[in-house]
Structure 1
Amino acid sequence: MSDLPSILIIVAFLLAVISLVQPVARVLRVSQTVILAVVGIAIAAISSFLLHSSFTDLFNKPAELILDFPITSQVFIFLFLPILLFQASLTLDVRRLADDAAPILVMAVVAVVVTTAVVGLALEPFAGVPLAACLMLGAIVATTDPAAVVAIFRDLGAPPRLTRLVEGESLLNDATAIAIFAVLLGYITAEQPPAVGAVLLGFVRTFAGGVLLGALIARAFVALLPLVRDLRAAEVTLTLALPYLIFIICERYLHVSGVVAVVAGGLVLGAMGRSRISPENWRFLDEVWEQLGFWASSLIFILAAMLVPRMVRGIDLADIGLVLVVVAACLVARAAVLFGLLPFLSLLRLGQRVSTPYKTVILWGGLRGAVTLALALSITENRAVSHDIQRFIAIVATGYVLFTLLVNGTTLRPVIKLLRLDQLSPVDLALRNRVLAISLVSVRDEVASRAQAYHLSDETLAATVRPYEDRIALVAEAQAASEGISERDRLSIGLVALAGRERDVLLEHFHRKTASPKVLEAMLQQADRIVEAARQGRSDYNKAARGWLEFDRPLRVAVALHRLTRLESMLAQRLADRFETLLVSRIVLEDLRRFATAKLLPVLGPRMTAILREMLDNRIEATSKALDAQHLQYPGYAAALERRFLRQYALRLEEREYRTLLEDGLIGSELFHNLRVELQEEQDTVLRRPRLDLRLEPQTLLAQFPMFATLSEEELGKLAGLLRPRFARPGERLISQGAKADSMFFIASGAVEILLEKRRIRLGRSDFFGEMGLIARKPRSADVVALTHCHLLELGGSAFHKTLENNAAMQAKIAAIAEAREQMNANPEPEPEPEPTPDPDLARPVEPDPSPTSNIIALPPPPRRVAD
């Protein structure tokens, strides 16, 4: 029996069962995979009983349909596995995973290798099969159920980074284990077993080849996305084809790991697709894939469970003993990684510290599931494998899966409760009480206001608000008992709340397309870092928050290329990204300042709110200075970006008005659609970012220097043609003592420091340096180092002398400044004593963070001593 209607009716029946399992699992507070396993086993056992029972023949036909259902390893591996792996990898943030690449890769690869080795070596004396078969069983049971493990940590409210570590490790764990399984299976079925070196080389080839080819195929698909832009049905269909094409091409034709390739492809699409698919369509795509993943994981689990009675047929006490050996070996191997390797990674600062209770939950919560059963089933169907190995793999792997589901899965919540991981910390409890008190009072007052507006009786109002009054009193008592929370903890609560709100506001901008998707995506990743840093305290928060102002690696590369090759396109693109980043940052920070006053003040009190407001004010000031520097250099482009932002806002308001008219019945759907199409065309036009021309308005930039105030527009234009823009990062050495003096520099923005023998002098915007060596035609007399990100204008030596020859006023001014600086060199002033450093967490006032454009010391005339 394998006709299509019979298959469809069984699938429909199983889907109905799966839908009923969810509420049962929620009521029993047990993992859904445990319930699915029990239900699948029960369906198979009951069907077998009904078919072979002489009690009645009424259920023979449906029982026969279920028992004869064509469940093979090919169905699991080629139909369900690509969906499962692709959906899991698609939801991961590959750029955030890159921050923890070392611990994830080490945990995934090392954990699988250790489990494979420990299980294989532990079984070999007792199993009566070759060591290679025992190692292959070790690889089969090394796979974990990512969905179950991640669900556990989300239920516990684990920190996002820890959840991400476990999720990434579980996904790559499966890919690594399946790759090792494939290599060992090839070793066992080969007529002439290859050497160990060849086996290891084969593993590296299949794994690395899978990563490379999966990423390349996914990248090619990403290039096709613009062809179906804003057609969400086509976009989803394209992504549905991708995992199957990757898996089958790599597995069947290119002979590399299809599993690894699908994971790599999902990560690439997740990283690149978000900036090429509209936010609304990406949400739709994500929801579709979540549903597909749910169907695939549930069906593969319940179908695999239906095979359990068949696979454990003939089990005896010796087999049970082997299962217990595997249980002990897996626990030992997993414990060695968790309690031995993880602390070492934390010591090297390659991974986040994981507490002992969390490690215990990871150890006990390593549930095995459908992937393990599917791999075991593939062995039983492989005729090249001996019957003894088939029986050994089928019984022991199935027995171990049942143990993890029925023992670990059912006792996991009691373990969590025993370790008190389900309880709120004192800080969280205090925050809960305070927020609850404010919310209940707000609800009570709003109900009273409505009752008065609707002229309801006092008796009705009293009966309605009485339960709220009682709850407010209880919360007040609990709040009084928890008032011992320290100010540092209150500050931590406020920082986490601010960081979370910052990410939410950025998500709103992402959905509204306020700026380029690529820019907003990068800002969201930085916001995630700020959220995690906020949990560590004020200094970590400030350090992460300065990420908006930093010159990232692509921009530094673009600067270096521009300096070497004069190539402008890449630098213009990166500077335009920075423009947008700073503009959106300032808008977001202004929203945060209002949020702190409106929402955090009632929760944290005036002192903590004042500290948070001051930190936000410092961030706003630093961001504004950086943005002002960009305005000075490229005022036309800055104005174009601001117009673009306001136009986008106006178009969103226009769309909202049309939608309101439609909902109120004032316009029909046909007219609304017509207006919406016109609006969409305008939005698409506005969404295109204007191009930044690095040569825009040089006269405007030079006009900020007092020494050029007497020059005409024509003279400014000639001088601008002689200047070369240069960008410097903090700590970069701009001038070295003893070097040949071949240019001078004008500071358009930022700050530099002159390193003299007995003192240091700082210069800021509108200052210049390096001219003395050109005038005296001598080597440089001191080092000059950039203190912040600087925008400089460099004037070459020959151009310098030519300019002075043609402009007597400028020549006289520079000569006077140089003479004054020489006198200062002869009579240096002592450095002032440094001021004491305030408490890094609670002291106030807060010093503003250094920014790319801050004048660290704004030294007005008279001229100062400046070395060149």
Structure 2
Amino acid sequence: MAFFESMLTLLLVAIVFLQFSRKFRIPYPTMLAIAGIIVAAVPWAPEVAIDPQLALALLIAPVLFDAAYDLPPRTLRRNWLPLFSLAAIAVVLTTAAVATVGVTMAGLPLAAAVALGAIVAPPDAAAATAMLDRFDLPRQTYVILKGESLLNDAVALLIFSAAVAAAASPAFFTGALAELALAVPGGLILGYLLGRLYMVVGLKLAGTLGGTLLEFVATFGTWIIAERLHLSAILAIVVYAMVIARYMPERQTARHRIHSYSVWEAAVFLLNVLAFLLMGLQVRQIVLDLDPGRLNYAITLAAAVFVTVIGVRLAWVLLYNRVITFLAERGYTRQAVPTFATSLLAGWCGMRGLVTLATALALPIDFPDRDIILLSALAVVLGTLIVQGLTLGPLIRVLKFEPDTSLDRNLTRARVALIDAALAELADGEDKSTRILRDVYTSEREITADGKHPREVSSLDKQRRSVIAAKRRKLAAMRRADEIDDDVFHMLEQELDWAELAVLPPGRDEIVES
């Protein structure tokens, strides 16, 4: 009961703090971090432990699914070099640098030091995008930072799993590495198969509360099945989410999709709250149990890890900027060359969050120097969220980015194409209502071509529904043909969803219990 009361208290504090986040443009994970520490510090806070395997499944699986759903494979192909630079090289360099600090400064065993490095290596996209959404930034920078969040999580978690296995098994480099070689392709195949299976079962339950619950059961089930088969649960979730994101939106109803997206957003936010509370409670107990000498020693290590994490990312991103500029000037690469300002921004978007907390909580109870690793992980999360989170907005204003209108242009072009599809749907009708609706869409096309988005209002609901269906077919075809990016697709998909709901008869297409 005490834990439940602490959870409710944190939710209440988080709700209050989020008002400050919205007003002062502070990333909401920063406010959650502060709220979590406040609640964990109260005298009556309970001592709570969570099973390490449960921490990974409960906290990581939904976050990976959410990130993978928004990152189509073509975005990976199109931006492979900067994504590889941030998600693979930066994570490996950060892990190696932090491990070096842990071994030389604190005398940690190598496996424990590598685990610490993997825990603090991946930045949290939610913290960055919560701030970046409020500014007019180069679209490419925004896409890369969101794409990085998925890949760096996967890379860091794979390193973490290997480090934990190495600490537990002296024969790691013979047996565990061979198992890992099978786990990676096996996880990819399993994720694809379960994604296709969900396409069959999920469609039969679409529009029901059971269908919404199945989304969570299937996501957690994918993780658990992969774990039971000794396959990579991380890669299984990533592929599973990508399969669903590629095919499912075209087959869902508008109400079901809106309902599903809302539920997932709330669930991921609640998991953030839970992670900060659990981490705060565990660290509180560690601080109370440590003797002053070891506590000072742990704080010194945490500060060194914090500085290392920030410094390595910033140095690598700026070095990448110089190298890619050098190669582009000599014609060795066709990759887009980022400006110094965008590289500086990307280097400073290194706030850590849910994945770092969840991975730290997933350390086995008997893991070497677990208490020091947890303290260091929390210090990095709090430090980056407060220092970088609170200075990201001022930095963006100082850098003065040129407005990027490419998203607006792509939206306008796609909207015109959808209206053309609507007019084609109405071309053969000559009755009065069809002529009226055709005139409405002709006017709408003129307004949209000027870059404005008219509100769709009409009493001719039946014709509008058929027109919206035609627009959906056109939108899906444009996505399949790679004529529009997925961010444009999802924005227009949402517009069509709300337009469809506005013209449905009362009580039609509701979310039902069964």
CA distance in 1, matches of 2:336, 2:307: 27
Deviation at 1:155, TM superposition (A): 2.4
The 3-state SS of whatever aligns with 1:156 is: coil
Structure 1 counterpart of 2:411, one-letter code: G
Are positions 1:128 and 2:39 aligned together? Answer: no
Q: Relative to 1, partners in 2 of residues 1:188 and 1:266: Cα closer, same or farther, differing over 3 Å?
A: same
Are positions 1:269 and 2:251 aligned together? Answer: no
**Percent of counterpart pairs with the same letter?**
27
Contact residue 178 and residue 259 of structure 1 kept, 8 A: yes
Among residues 52, 63, 67, which one is paired with 1:84 in the alignment? 63
Identify the residue that residue 411 of structure 1 maps to in structure 2.
391
Q: Where does 1:615-764 land on structure 2 (aligned, <5 Å)?
A: none
Identify the residue that residue 804 of structure 1 maps to in structure 2.
none
Identify the residue that residue 329 of structure 1 maps to in structure 2.
308
Q: Relative to 1, partners in 2 of residues 1:69 and 1:530: Cα closer, same or farther, differing over 3 Å?
A: closer
Contact residue 30 and residue 409 of structure 1 kept, 8 A: yes
Among residues 413, 417, 427, which one is paired with 1:502 in the alignment? 413
Identify the residue that residue 125 of structure 2 maps to in structure 1.
146
Identify the residue that residue 432 of structure 2 maps to in structure 1.
none
Which digits, 9 at most, give the CA deviation of each residue in 1:456-506, with x for residues without a partner? xxxxxxxxxxxxxxxxxxxxxxxxxxxxxxxxxxxx97x875532122345
Are positions 1:247 and 2:217 aligned together? Answer: no
CA distance in 2, matches of 1:405, 1:199: 35
Among residues 338, 358, 365, which one is paired with 1:374 in the alignment? 358
Contact residue 310 and residue 350 of structure 2 kept, 8 A: no
Q: Relative to 1, partners in 2 of residues 1:24 and 1:530: Cα closer, same or farther, differing over 3 Å?
A: closer
Q: Relative to 1, partners in 2 of residues 1:152 and 1:358: Cα closer, same or farther, differing over 3 Å?
A: farther
Contact residue 224 and residue 233 of structure 2 kept, 8 A: yes
Deviation at 1:122, TM superposition (A): 3.4
CA distance in 2, matches of 1:413, 1:369: 18
Contact residue 132 and residue 184 of structure 1 kept, 8 A: yes
Structure 1 counterpart of 2:234, one-letter code: V
Q: Relative to 1, partners in 2 of residues 1:212 and 1:269: Cα closer, same or farther, differing over 3 Å?
A: same
Structure 1 counterpart of 2:374, one-letter code: A
CA distance in 2, matches of 1:157, 1:392: 40
More helix per residue: 1 or 2?
A: 2
The 3-state SS of whatever aligns with 2:133 is: helix
Deviation at 1:132, TM superposition (A): 2.4
Contact residue 112 and residue 176 of structure 1 kept, 8 A: yes
Contact residue 107 and residue 169 of structure 1 kept, 8 A: yes
Are positions 1:194 and 2:169 aligned together? Answer: no
Are positions 1:223 and 2:178 aligned together? Answer: no
Contact residue 311 and residue 398 of structure 1 kept, 8 A: no
- Aligned CA RMSD, in angstroms, stands at 3.5
Deviation at 1:530, TM superposition (A): 12
Are positions 1:168 and 2:147 aligned together? Answer: yes
Contact residue 55 and residue 361 of structure 2 kept, 8 A: no
Q: Which of 1 and 2 has greater Rg?
A: 1
Contact residue 34 and residue 405 of structure 1 kept, 8 A: yes
The 3-state SS of whatever aligns with 2:300 is: helix
Which digits, 9 at most, give the CA deviation of each residue in 1:377-401, with x for residues without a partner? 333x432x33xx2233223223222
Identify the residue that residue 260 of structure 1 maps to in structure 2.
235
Structure 2 counterpart of 1:237, one-letter code: L
Identify the residue that residue 562 of structure 1 maps to in structure 2.
none
Are positions 1:21 and 2:17 aligned together? Answer: yes
Which digits, 9 at most, give the CA deviation of each residue in 1:543-572, with x for residues without a partner? xxxxxxxxxxxxxxxxxxxxxxxxxxxxxx
CA distance in 2, matches of 1:349, 1:285: 41
Deviation at 1:138, TM superposition (A): 0.8
- Structure 2, unpaired ranges of 5+: 423-464, 489-498
- Structure 1, unpaired ranges of 5+: 49-62, 429-491, 533-651, 660-668, 678-868
Among residues 346, 349, 358, which one is paired with 1:362 in the alignment? 346
Contact residue 232 and residue 285 of structure 1 kept, 8 A: no
- Which is worse superposed, 143-152 or 276-285? 276-285
Structure 1 counterpart of 2:260, one-letter code: L
Which digits, 9 at most, give the CA deviation of each residue in 1:702-747, with x for residues without a partner? xxxxxxxxxxxxxxxxxxxxxxxxxxxxxxxxxxxxxxxxxxxxxx
CA distance in 2, matches of 1:152, 1:207: 34
Q: Relative to 1, partners in 2 of residues 1:345 and 1:290: Cα closer, same or farther, differing over 3 Å?
A: farther
Structure 2 counterpart of 1:499, one-letter code: N
CA distance in 2, matches of 1:530, 1:274: 11
Q: Relative to 1, partners in 2 of residues 1:90 and 1:35: Cα closer, same or farther, differing over 3 Å?
A: same
Q: Where does 1:435-446 land on structure 2 (aligned, <5 Å)?
A: none
The 3-state SS of whatever aligns with 1:391 is: helix
Which digits, 9 at most, give the CA deviation of each residue in 1:610-643, with x for residues without a partner? xxxxxxxxxxxxxxxxxxxxxxxxxxxxxxxxxx
Deviation at 1:71, TM superposition (A): 4.6
Q: Which has the higher contact order (CA 8 A, sep 6+)?
A: 2
Deviation at 1:282, TM superposition (A): 2.1
TM-score by length of 1: 0.47
Identify the residue that residue 30 of structure 1 maps to in structure 2.
26
Contact residue 162 and residue 352 of structure 1 kept, 8 A: no
CA distance in 2, matches of 1:358, 1:188: 39
The 3-state SS of whatever aligns with 2:134 is: helix
Q: Where does 1:247-326 land on structure 2 (aligned, <5 Å)?
A: 247-251=223-227, 253-313=228-288, 314=290, 316-326=295-305
Deviation at 1:200, TM superposition (A): 5.4
Structure 2 counterpart of 1:265, one-letter code: Y
Among residues 523, 548, 554, which one is paired with 2:478 in the alignment? 523
TM-score by length of 2: 0.76
Q: Relative to 1, partners in 2 of residues 1:181 and 1:32: Cα closer, same or farther, differing over 3 Å?
A: same
Deviation at 1:319, TM superposition (A): 3.0
Which digits, 9 at most, give the CA deviation of each residue in 1:598-621, with x for residues without a partner? xxxxxxxxxxxxxxxxxxxxxxxx
Q: Where does 1:110-125 land on structure 2 (aligned, <5 Å)?
A: 110-125=89-104
CA distance in 2, matches of 1:208, 1:350: 30
Q: Relative to 1, partners in 2 of residues 1:246 and 1:180: Cα closer, same or farther, differing over 3 Å?
A: same
CA distance in 1, matches of 2:248, 2:316: 34
CA distance in 1, matches of 2:486, 2:105: 53
